[in-house]
Amino acid sequence: MTIKEVCKKYDITQDTLRYYERVGVIPEVSRTKGGIRDYTEQDIKWVENAVCMRSAGVPVEMLIEYVKLFQEGDSTITARRDLLMDARAEVQKNLDKYQATMDRLNYKISRYEEAVKTGVLTWDAENIKKD
Amino acid sequence: MTIKEVCKKYDITQDTLRYYERVGVIPEVSRTKGGIRDYTEQDIKWVENAVCMRSAGVPVEMLIEYVKLFQEGDSTITARRDLLMDARAEVQKNLDKYQATMDRLNYKISRYEEAVKTGVLTWDAENIKKD
DNA sequence: ATATACCTTGGAGTTAACTCCAAGTCAATA
DNA sequence: TATTGACTTGGAGTTAACTCCAAGGTATAT
């Protein structure tokens, strides 16, 4: 698979994909004789993983560390597990924050829907913040 | 309430709080005769809102726009509602991504837990990716 | 074979959101 | 009242994660 196809598949730019490879967010990708990237299934799995992790804010630094450990072989299995658990804790923390923000936005929007109908913006006694 | 107290309450730095005020993420904060910030309940509500929204990745630019509209008065109520709905859609999209990443991490970690016990890292037929 | 489009690399530039700094002012305490 | 610590401003610097660029190689269509 060419870089163009992979980029389209995951909706990222070629620059981003080359950058990921350059810094080690994904292992080195296989090439044609001419030196042009030709992604294997394996390569694509790594890309998919990177895109997913990045979309949840897992730092590039952490993905690099994971790939490095992976390439060192089975002796790093516990280290990799620990890294994944750290990442998970971080993602969960953010998930909770995002949920809290959704709750706040839903409340505010419900007040605004009301205001658009009645022409008056009101808040519960608890929330005398008027914003 | 002093800037120090507000920062402690929301676990942010004074620089960040002054920056928020400077660029308009929150409205101008009230001052003592000496010109020192003295946050009112209202001011603090704005800070709380900003911190919450930022923690879910709502861009500074969007918060600035909201404050601007708010200060223009009731004629901007529908515009503010629309802005909030845009923000909500964005937060929801990210929430979904975070959840997808949690699922992936949970699966990987379960495989690693197994590997730590048995010494062998295995994957389902579907997931022959070995990472 | 030659033009066209796409690919390569290394390195420089950009963006958002802080974060730090210098020079000076304010306030609480000995 | 003098000193100490916290506060003020405007502006410069930093960081993470891309994003762009130039010079050149590769591959496909005429």
Average pLDDT over residues A103-111: 97
A18-47 residues touching B, CB cutoff 8 A: 42, 45-46
Residue for token pair 């918060």? B63
pLDDT for the residue B125: 58
CB-side neighbour CA atoms (13 Å) of B91: 28
Distance CA B66, CA A44 (A): 41
Residue A85 at interface with chain B, using a CB cutoff of 8 Å? yes
Tell me how close the Cα of B87 comes to any Cα of chain A, in angstroms. 8
Picking from A37, A100, A101, A69, the residue whose alpha carbon sits closest to that of residue B84 is A101
Neighbours of B111 (CB within 10 A): 17
Q: Verify whether the Cβ–Cβ distance A131 to B49 is below 8 Å.
A: yes
Residue B127 banded pLDDT, cuts 50, 70, 90? low
Q: Verify whether the Cβ–Cβ distance A57 to B99 is below 8 Å.
A: no
Residue A129 banded pLDDT, cuts 50, 70, 90? low
pLDDT for the residue A53: 98
Average pLDDT over residues B6-25: 97
pLDDT for the residue A2: 97
CA B31-B62-B40 angle, 5° bins: 20
Strands (E), chain B: none
Distance CA B97, CA A80 (A): 22
Q: Phi/psi of residue B85, each to 5°? A: -70, -35
> Is A110's pLDDT higher than 80?
yes
Which of A98, A116, A123 is the best substitution to test chain B (most B C-beta atoms within 10 A)? A98
Residue A17 at interface with chain B, using a CB cutoff of 8 Å? no
pLDDT for the residue A52: 98
Covered bases, chain D (protein CB within 7 Å): 6-10, 16-21, 25-27
What's at B115, amino acid-wise?
A: A
Q: Are B83 and B62 a contacting pair, CB within 8 Å?
A: yes
> Is B33's pLDDT higher than 70?
yes
| Strand D contacted by B97 CB (< 7 A) | no
Looking at chain A, which residue has its C-alpha nearest residue B113?
Answer: A81
> Is A95's pLDDT higher than 60?
yes
pLDDT for the residue B122: 81
Q: Which domains are delineated in chain B?
A: 3-124 (1.10.1660.10)
Q: Verify whether the Cβ–Cβ distance A109 to B56 is below 8 Å.
A: no
Neighbours of A85 (CB within 10 A): 15
Q: Which of residues 37-96 of A touch strand D (CB under 7 A)?
A: 54, 59-61
Q: Which residues contact A100 (CB under 8 A, 6 or more apart)?
A: B52, B55, B56
Token code pair at residue A30: 């296989």
pLDDT tens track for B68-125: 999 999 999 999 999 999 999 999 999 999 999 999 999 999 999 999 998 888 886 5
pLDDT for the residue A125: 58
Average pLDDT, chain A: 94
Please say whether the dihedral angle defined by the alpha carbons of residues B58, B64, B67 and B72, taken in this order, is positive or negative: negative
> Is A117's pLDDT higher than 70?
yes
CA of B19: nearest nucleotide by C1' is C18
Residue A109 at interface with chain B, using a CB cutoff of 8 Å? yes
Distance CA A103, CA A113 (A): 15
Q: Are A46 and A66 a contacting pair, CB within 8 Å?
A: no
pLDDT for the residue A126: 59
Average pLDDT, chain B: 94
Q: Are B33 and B65 a contacting pair, CB within 8 Å?
A: no
Average pLDDT over residues A25-51: 97
| Strand D contacted by B33 CB (< 7 A) | no
pLDDT for the residue B124: 66
> Is B128's pLDDT higher than 60?
no
